[in-house]
Structure 1
């Protein structure tokens, strides 16, 4: 069994946030953080693939939620967050406290959801990081690399490895540090 690291998947999620911020720059909101500093806000729009990846990034400390005054009075969390680390910092960060098989399954489920909701079963390499092929696809046995321009999920292998564990052995499906497991 070969697995991409959780750190490599965290990097891909943060890359996606930066990619989307850049793509929507003229429409992005600027909201105050907890210190009143205006931050360019990433909005996950309550779309599951970005909502889940944002939860991974927030737990890992790569992004931080922007909380409005209205949200402090309610249990409903808003869709806005902002990156607190650059991609270089993320690449160098020590995410070893998150390297568990449960977190791998959570992150890979989230990544699979992201790919399915944005490009189908084929990974669109035009919107993945330059590190994706080496750090994720070639390191994990759930991907089929069909050349430098085509990577697909092996759906059967994904089901056997990730979804079997997800359904049978993960009663609590959260992304969390090893010490809080």
Structure 2
């Protein structure tokens, strides 16, 4: 629950970690041995590949993330999730929620019309609706594609 994670600069994990770091659910990790080999630039926008959880899933569920509730952030998060699914689920594009997240079906997928519920434990993106709702906004109205607090939006 509190183990370090290395996204290995794989884009789907790197983008996901950027969201989690912005909301405070994870923190960058700079192992002391790594500092000898990498120069840490505190002004750099590009963090290293290591992070660790700053919250458990239960703590995340109780946390107030309302300062991140913008349509741009929704599109960023859904694009990131779509990217994760495309790069980790194989050809089916299906997500097995028993393995990934038992809470996702009830708290996200059942409330958002971009998802197609395939069964008790599997969801897919409705590609037409995803394109219309998320990607149209992403392409036309999001020149700055970052996940950020409302006050910085």
Query: TM-score category by the smaller chain?
Result: 0.7 to 0.9
Partner of 2:72: 102
RMSD of the TM alignment (CA)?
A: 1.7
Please state whether the residue corresponding to 2:79 is helix, strand or coil.
Answer: helix
Kindly tell me the number of residue pairs found equivalent between the two proteins: 144
When normalised by structure 1's length, the TM-score is 0.74
Q: After TM superposition, what 4+ stretches of structure 1 lie above 3 angstroms from structure 2?
A: 73-76
Q: Which runs of 5+ in 1 are unaligned?
A: 1-17, 19-38
Does 1:64 pair with 2:27?
Answer: yes
> Offset at 1:73?
4.6
Please state whether the residue corresponding to 1:82 is helix, strand or coil.
Answer: strand
Structure with more relative contact order (C-alpha pairs < 8 Å, separation 6 or more): 1
When normalised by structure 2's length, the TM-score is 0.87
Partner of 1:3: none
Q: Which runs of 5+ in 2 are unaligned?
A: none
Does 1:86 pair with 2:86?
Answer: no
Does 1:123 pair with 2:123?
Answer: no
